[in-house]
Amino acid sequence: GILGVLAALGAEAGEPAKDGGGPPKVETPPKDKGFAVTSEDGNYKLGVGLQSGYKLEPVWDDGQSKARTAFPFLRPRLYGNMFRPWISFWTSLELASPGAPYLLDSFVDLQPWKALGVRAGQFYTPISRHESLGPQQILFPEFAAVANYFWTGRDKGITLMGKTKTLEYYAGIFGGSPLRSITSDPGRWVSNVRLTVSPMGPMGYGELPYIMSDDKGSPFRVSFTVQGAGGKVERRDENFNVETGGFDVTDEGLRKFATGGVDFMLQAQRFTFYAEGWLERTQPEDPAGPNYTSVGAWGQADWVFYKKVLDAGVRLSWLNASLDLDDDTLYIVEGQLAWFVDAPFLAFKLRYEFAHQDAPNPAQQGAVQLAREPGSSNLVTLQLNLAF
C-alpha cells in the first residue's frame, strides 16, 4: 500500500545515488502541503495527500427531517512526476461512497510548454471552470447544483491544454463511459472545449483569490469563458447492492446532447464574483420522449471581512430542466460564513441553504431529468475541509 511504498523509498534514501548526486530528499512542498520524496535532480517525485470533508448537516424536506451523509468526499491521492518535471501523474480514490472504494482520477500530464500539453487517462472533463477545481479550491462546501447538472463529469479520454498570461484552453475527446466502469461502451463518446480569456492577466487561486494572495492582495481583474460539449451517451443509474457488495448499473436510455455555456469572474481584493450560464439540447432515444432544451444559471459573491481568514458569501442558483415542461424549475439560495484556518488546507464552513424543486406532471416529464427531488428543503451545514 501507500505506507509500503513510502517505507521502501525511505530505505532507498539511505543509499548513495549511483550518479553521485546525493540521496533522494523528503520535502514538504511549499504550495501543496503533504509529504513528497524527490530525487536530487527533481526528475522523480512521489507525493501522498488527502482531500477530505467532514460535515454535520441537519436537513428538513417539506418539514420532515432527512438523513445526510457525513463525508461529502474522502480522497487519498498519489501524485508526482517521472523522468522529467513536466511528465507528471495523479491517482486518487473516492472512499466516501457506499460499498467498495473506486478509482476517481488516474491520469498523466505531458506539459513540456505551458502553452501546449496533453492529459490522458480518467479525469474530470474540463467544461466548467468551477467543476475543474478541487474541493479545497471552491468557496462553498459542495459544487453548485446547476454546474453539476450540465457538467459532463469524469471520463476516460485525452485532452489538449495550455495557458498563456491571458488565455487558457482545453479540447478533449472521451469514451462516454460510466465512472465505475473500466471499459468504454462502443459507439459512445463525449467531446468538449473551453476557452478562458483573462485580458488583465492571470486570475488568483481558484475561488479564493484574496485569501490565497501574497502581500499585494488580488488586484482588480476580470475573466471570461466560452465553452461547449456534445456527445452520445447512455444515461446510467447506479444503486448499491447490499447483498453482493457491488453496484447495480441500470441503463436509462441513450441520448445525444449539445451543451453551451459562458462564465464571468471578477476579483477586486477582498471581493470576488463568479457566475455561469448554460443551455443544453437533449435528444433522447425513442421511445424515451421528445427532445428538450434545458437552461440554467448560478452565481456567487463573497467578501473577506477579516484579514485573510473570515469570509461571508452568498450563492443563487436557477434551473429550468425543460422549456417545454411546466412546473420543473429549481431555485436555490445559500448563505455562508467561512473560517479559513490555514487556506486552502484547513477550513470550517457554516452554510444555510433553501432549495425548492417544482414537481412536473409525471405523464409529461418523459426523459427530462430533474436536478433535485421535488419539494422544498432547508439545510444547515457545518463542514470541516482538510486537504494536503
3-state secondary structure 306-343: ECCCEEEEEEEEEEECCCCCCCCEEEEEEEEEEEEEEC
Three cell numbers written together for 213: 494572495
The predicted-structure confidence for 188-236, as pLDDT tens digits, reads as follows: 899 999 999 999 999 999 999 999 999 999 999 999 999 999 999 876 5
Query: Same structural domain for residues 33 and 56?
Result: no
> What's the confidence (pLDDT) of residue 35?
83
Determine how many CB atoms are found less than 10 A away from the CB of residue 100.
Answer: 11
Q: What is the pLDDT of residue 235?
A: 63
**Beta-bridge partners for 236:** 251
Same domain, 199 and 322: yes
**pTM of the predicted structure, to 2 decimals:** 0.87
The answer on 262 and 288 residing in a single domain is yes
pLDDT at 69: 65
pLDDT band at 285 (very low <50, low <70, confident <90, very high): confident
Residue 68: pLDDT band with limits 50, 70, 90: low
- For residue 25, name the pLDDT band (cuts at 50, 70, 90): low
Whether 182 has a pLDDT exceeding 80, the answer reads: no
Check whether residue 151 and residue 92 sit in a common domain: yes
What pLDDT shows up at residue 149?
Answer: 96
Average pLDDT taken over every residue of the chain? 87
Residue 267 reports pLDDT greater than 90: yes
113: its cell numbers: 510548454
Does the pLDDT value for residue 75 go beyond 80? yes
CATH code for position 79: 2.40.160.10
Residues 126 and 237 in one domain: yes
362 or 4: which carries more pLDDT confidence? 362
Q: What is the mean pLDDT of residues 314-341?
A: 97
Q: Are residues 265 and 120 in the same domain?
A: yes
What was the pLDDT predicted at 10? Answer: 37
Sequence length of the chain is: 388
Q: What is the pLDDT of residues 300-313, one digit of tens each?
A: 999 999 999 999 99
Q: Is pLDDT of 119 > 50? A: yes
At 318, is the pLDDT very low, low, confident or very high (cuts 50, 70, 90)? Answer: very high
Range of the domain at 284: 43-387
As a whole number of angstroms, the distance between CA 175 and CA 191 comes to 9
Please check whether residues 295 and 183 belong to one and the same domain. Answer: yes
86/19 same-domain check: no
> What whole-number distance in Å separates Cα of residue 340 and Cα of residue 348?
6
Average pLDDT over residues 124-138: 96
E strand residue ranges, 57-152: 59-61, 64-66, 73-82, 84-94, 102-113, 116-124
Same domain, 315 and 358: yes
Has residue 246 got a pLDDT over 70?
A: no
Residues 290 and 349 in one domain: yes
What would the mean pLDDT of 64-90 be, rounded to a whole number?
88
How far out from the chain centre does Cα 55 lie? 18
**Same domain, residue pair 79 and 29:** no
- Among 162, 155, 38, CA closest to 106: 155
- For the chain, how many structural domains are there in total? 2
Residues 6+ apart with CB under 8 A from 227: 127, 128, 192, 193, 194, 195, 260, 261, 262, 263
Q: Which pLDDT score is estimated for 26? A: 58
pLDDT of amino acid 1: 40
Q: How far is CA 127 from CA 68, 260, 266, 293, in A?
A: 28, 9, 19, 19
Q: Exposed e or buried b for every residue in 327-341, given b needs 16+ CB within 10 A?
A: ebbbebebebebebe
Mean pLDDT of 37-64: 87
pLDDT of residue 178: 73
List the grid coordinates of 256. 445525444
- How confident is residue 249, by pLDDT bands cut at 50, 70 and 90? low
d(CA 363, CA 28): 58
pLDDT of residue 202: 95
Instruction: Say if residue 230 is in the same domain as residue 369.
Output: yes
pLDDT of residue 382: 94
**Res 11 pLDDT > 70:** no
- What percent of the chain is predicted at pLDDT more than 90? 70
